[in-house]
A and B are shown apart, each in its own frame.
Chain A
Amino acid sequence: MKKVIMGNHALSYGAKLGRAQVIAAYPITPQTQVVELLSEMCADKSLDAMFIKVESEHSAMAACLGASLAGARTFTATSAQGLALMHELLHWASGGRLPVVMGNINRAMAPGWSIWSDQNDSLSQRDTGWMQFYCSSNQEVLDTVIQAFKVSEKLLIPSMVILDAFTLSHTYEVVDIPDQKKVDEYLPPFNPSIKLTPEEPHAFGGLTSPEHYFELRYKLQKEMEKAPALIEKTGKEYEKMFGRYLGLVEKHRCDDADLILITSGAMGSTARIAVDELRKEGIKAGNLRIKVFRPFPFEIIRNAVKGAKKIAVVDRNISYGHHGMFFEEVKSALYGYSDGLPVFGFITGLGGRDITPSTFKEITQYTLERDKPKEEIIWIGVKL
């Protein structure tokens, strides 16, 4: 069934179709409608889940962890300051190997107080051991929530499904809402081999001596390394059943491109349009949108840029004292593999400043005029 829905409701429908059993969330702009719709679904029993009202995001995640440990499929959603407040418990989720799925609507961190989009909130959580999926359309948001449950529960690693504030969260798009029966077939009930139960009592997350802690971390990383292949496999299964592939990256006219724009999130679809316009002007551009940031898809990026003459990474985030974070990661993926391919790092659109096709044309212009980047960070659109 096709419906015109906002990105926030795409998250809610994803959680509903995924049959989340426990939802604990605290409202924060621009995520509020995710929670509103889910609470309505729980109230009118169209979703058979327990909705736990909590006093903060810290408690929201804590409630999800307890429920997940007891074997329930859990979902929550947040943004910016809310995600930062959860930070401690994000480590508890991944360290405890609890496959919580969370929607995060990218919102710039305060101060200055902002409700608009940039990626610093979620990227600040990159080392917490969560998988991160950056979506570029409402359809992809809904589909990815369902896939994330499947991948997370297989690996016992939590997932963050990420979308841009307003550009996706409050923008209405046509979304195909899959049939519940087919989703049930794709996503079987969560049935962990270890769970909190009175029949077999255990203490979880207790004191772990140097004798064992190291191995727990080793195992978390080893499972994370299995994620890229599993995401591709479950993405293909999804395509077979629902007609839409869910992969690690999205390539648009990369095969014969001289210049590849590397993007993420909603700006990935803007870049696609810019690339088509640039092609009409005779510039051989391509767009590689990175969807999965953790685990980072090293292999696929190395292969995708083979044949390109220049790479421009566009970041809507910044690691202060370093670079844009996608730029850092792309360079680290290519080091030693790309024979000195020049990689340009652009930062634009912080705090919700619009990213339009002309932004990408400016980026392309800069890149074409230079053999290699002269600056560590190339700022686009700063009015100073």
Chain B
Amino acid sequence: MKKKKGAQKIVFKSEKDFPLMPMSVGSMLFNKTGAWRNIKPVINLEKCIQCGICWKFCPDVAIFIEKEWPVIDYEYCKGCGLCAEECPTKCIAMVEEEK
């Protein structure tokens, strides 16, 4: 996974820099929504059949396939549990976050 490091809050210095219309300007680079999570998905790769269904269903695009295995991006996973629900072998467990 390639990630831009050290992204910071966007500050517009002048009217000219401000976007013309309400559009994303890359705020997700620093706005790490993984912090919203109460329970997190943990994959038991021994039971995983590499079907890619979790990757396909993740509404936040927070599951990647790396070298044919699913990897969860915990910086953005909000813990919705869709992957665990859809997994045909039930190899994804939703585990309480420790705070």
Contacts and interface: CB of A to CB of B under 8 A. Distances in A.
Contacts of A97: 20-21
Interface in A182-207: 193-194, 202-206
Contact of A156 (B12, B15, B18, B20): B20
B22 interface: yes
Nearest to B28: A203
Say whether chain A's binding surface is mostly helix, strand, loop, or mixed. loop
Interface string A299-319: 000000000000000000000
A96 B18 contact: no
A95 B22 contact: yes
B63 to A, nearest CB: 19
Contacts of A219: 15, 18, 20
Interface in B1-36: 12, 15, 18-25
B18 A202 contact: no
Contacts of B18: 212, 215, 219
A365 interface: no
A355 B19 CA distance: 47
Nearest to A218: B15
Contacts of B20: 97, 156, 193-194, 219
A202 B23 CA distance: 6
A121 B25 CA distance: 37
Nearest to B9: A211
A194 B22 CA distance: 11
Nearest to A223: B20
Nearest to B18: A215
Contacts of A241: none
Contacts of B15: 215, 219
B21 A203 contact: no
Nearest to B24: A203
Interface in A141-184: 156
Nearest to A222: B15
A361 B25 CA distance: 59
Contacts of B25: 202
A221 to B, nearest CB: 13
Contacts of A204: 21-24
A219 B18 CA distance: 9
Interface of B: 12, 15, 18-25
Q: Which 6 A-B pairs have the closest CB atoms?
A: A97-B21, A203-B24, A202-B23, A204-B23, A202-B24, A205-B22
17 contacts: A95-B22, A96-B22, A97-B21, A98-B21, A194-B23, A202-B23, A203-B23, A203-B24, A204-B21, A204-B22, A204-B24, A205-B22, A206-B22, A208-B22, A215-B18, A216-B21, A219-B18
Given A156-B21, A194-B19, A216-B22, 15 more contacts: A95-B22, A96-B22, A156-B20, A194-B20, A194-B23, A202-B25, A204-B22, A204-B24, A205-B23, A206-B24, A212-B12, A212-B18, A216-B21, A219-B15, A219-B20
